[in-house]
């Protein structure tokens, strides 16, 4: 920084530690913003993670419109509200006056109007707390809600400038510049620009989740063909079928009648999980299949605990009914302990994991609940039904 009269020069330079701190914070903030945007975009089990010092890897399985996804990810979403410049010193778009900047507007009919606006913004997009899509006779628009500070700024600015134009800029482009007809003190407003429903949804998405701390540059793009995905899913299904088949055969051969009841409980468990998938709209991916296989293992493990306790009681000379009662009572504590600790592990994976890890954690936690229901209550219900109204001398375990 040099003085006009030829004075001394002053150079300011950030310390390395401060520079690294700013860069790391920018990466973390960008990761959070992208996660929020993509979650609302509706992608099943996305992967969003930092790579190196200044790169972010984004994997979006099953996206049907890659260009829309890229536009949503790369949009900085820097929102500003500026007054349209007025007065004799405004200048022209070619030569703007002091304190005035020129920004392009949305192209309409092949024409793109340029706006002269004041350099000093009224407020930024950081005061927006919510944004939603609305529709009127002219098409779709975005309605936004301001926080307390934004409500005060917006109310003061519109009160002092009734009759002037207020330009709404998003990433350096004027979305609309309506005239202020009256003071707006309610803490909400709208952005119109002849949006399609997808454009309005994406704009509301980025406004709700905030602006990126810095622009993103697309360095590499890869597309995995559907044939590779189909092969992976086919192999995952095959592993599930083979694994479950071995478990079913082992239970039938080793525990005989008790094993058949345990196999029925496993089948009910899988059906309950699939029903939950349908209710919540989950997508069954490879991590989901892995979680499903683990759930089957947990369900079988609980049944093994019960059957082994029943065997011990029968060897001790107890009758069938007493052996069943004692076996379930003794196994209950161990079953609850294992299920609770595994459920806690699933919650930790969901909290700190991303993408496929979180999908696996969701399936695991749901499977813990269903296996607890089927392995204890369902099988006990079957034994009680078999013993109802008849004398039971032995249990096939």
| pLDDT one-digit tens code per residue, 36-88 | 777 766 666 677 888 877 788 887 776 777 787 787 777 777 788 899 998 88
What pLDDT, on a 0 to 100 scale, did the predictor assign at position 131? 86
Query: Is residue 367 situated within a structural domain?
Result: yes
| CATH code (residue 82) | 3.30.1360.200
Query: Is residue 285 situated within a structural domain?
Result: yes
Domain that holds residue 368: 226-387
139 and 200 housed in the same domain: yes
For residues 306 and 193, the model is more confident at: 306
- Checking if the pLDDT of 2 tops 70, the result is no
Q: Strand (E) positions, 16-127? A: 47-51, 55-59, 79-83, 100-104, 114-118, 123-124
Query: Is residue 181 situated within a structural domain?
Result: yes
CA distances, 128 to each of 19, 215, 232 (Å): 29, 20, 43
250 and 380 housed in the same domain: yes
What pLDDT, on a 0 to 100 scale, did the predictor assign at position 1? 44
Query: Is residue 370 situated within a structural domain?
Result: yes
259 and 333 housed in the same domain: yes
- Checking if the pLDDT of 26 tops 70, the result is yes
Query: Is residue 262 situated within a structural domain?
Result: yes
What is the pTM assigned to this prediction?
Answer: 0.50
238 and 379 housed in the same domain: yes
CA angle 92–97–99, rounded 5-degree value: 130
136 and 109 housed in the same domain: yes
Cα gap 333→231, rounded to integer Å: 42
Cα gap 323→340, rounded to integer Å: 26
Q: Strand (E) positions, the chain? A: 47-51, 55-59, 79-83, 100-104, 114-118, 123-124, 128-136, 139-146, 166-170, 173-176, 188-195
283 and 298 housed in the same domain: yes
For residues 378 and 3, the model is more confident at: 378
262 and 177 housed in the same domain: no
Cα gap 141→1, rounded to integer Å: 46
- pLDDT, mean over the chain: 80
58 and 99 housed in the same domain: no
- Checking if the pLDDT of 388 tops 80, the result is no
174 and 231 housed in the same domain: no
pLDDT tens-digit readout, 239-298: 778 878 888 888 888 888 888 888 888 888 888 888 888 887 776 677 777 788 888 887
238 and 371 housed in the same domain: yes
158 and 22 housed in the same domain: no
- Which of the listed residues 23, 54, 74 is the one where a domain comes to its end? 74
Residue 110 φ/ψ, nearest 5 degrees: 85, -5
- Total number of domains in the chain: 3
296 and 365 housed in the same domain: yes
Confidence tier at 152 by pLDDT (50, 70, 90): very high
Cα gap 345→348, rounded to integer Å: 5
- Checking if the pLDDT of 332 tops 80, the result is yes
Q: Residue 33's CB: how many other CB atoms inside 10 A?
A: 19
């Amino acid at each position: 920084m040099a003085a006009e009269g030829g004075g001394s020069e002053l150079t300011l330079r950030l310390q390395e530690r401060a520079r690294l701190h700013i860069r790391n914070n920018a990466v973390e903030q960008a990761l959070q913003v992208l996660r929020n945007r993509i979650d609302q975009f509706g992608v099943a089990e996305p992967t969003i993670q930092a790579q190196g010092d200044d790169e972010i890897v984004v994997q979006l399985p099953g996206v049907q419109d890659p260009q829309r996804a890229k536009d949503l990810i790369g949009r900085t979403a820097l929102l500003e509200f500026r007054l349209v410049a007025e007065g004799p010193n405004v200048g022209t778009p070619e030569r703007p006056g002091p304190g005035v900047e020129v920004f392009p507007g949305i192209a309409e009919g092949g024409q793109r109007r340029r706006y002269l606006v004041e350099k000093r913004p009224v407020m930024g997009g950081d005061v927006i707390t919510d944004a939603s899509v609305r529709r009127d006779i002219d098409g779709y628009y975005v309605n936004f809600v301001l926080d307390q500070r934004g409500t005060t700024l917006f109310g003061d600015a519109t009160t002092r400038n009734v009759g002037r134009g207020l330009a709404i800029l998003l990433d350096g482009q004027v979305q609309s510049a309506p005239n202020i007809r009256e003071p707006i003190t309610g803490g909400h407003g709208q952005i119109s620009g002849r949006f399609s429903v997808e454009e309005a949804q994406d704009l509301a998405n980025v406004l709700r989740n905030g602006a990126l701390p810095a622009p993103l540059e697309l360095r590499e793009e890869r597309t995995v063909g559907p044939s590779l995905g189909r092969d992976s899913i086919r192999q995952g299904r095959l592993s599930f079928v083979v694994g479950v088949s071995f478990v079913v055969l082992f239970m039938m051969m080793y525990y005989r009648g008790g094993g058949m009841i345990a196999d029925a409980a496993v089948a009910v468990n899988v059906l309950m999980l699939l029903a939950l998938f349908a209710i919540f709209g989950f997508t069954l991916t490879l991590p989901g299949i892995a979680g499903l296989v683990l759930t089957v293992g947990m369900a079988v493990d609980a049944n093994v605990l019960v059957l082994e306790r029943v065997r011990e009681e029968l060897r001790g000379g107890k009758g069938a009914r007493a052996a069943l009662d004692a076996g379930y009572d003794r196994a209950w504590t161990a079953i609850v302990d294992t299920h609770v600790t595994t459920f806690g592990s699933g919650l930790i994976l969901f909290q700190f994991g991303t993408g496929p890890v979180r999908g696996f954690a969701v399936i695991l936690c749901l499977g813990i609940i269903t296996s607890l229901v089927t392995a204890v209550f369902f099988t006990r219900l079957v034994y009680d039904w078999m013993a109802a109204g008849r004398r039971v001398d032995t249990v096939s375990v």
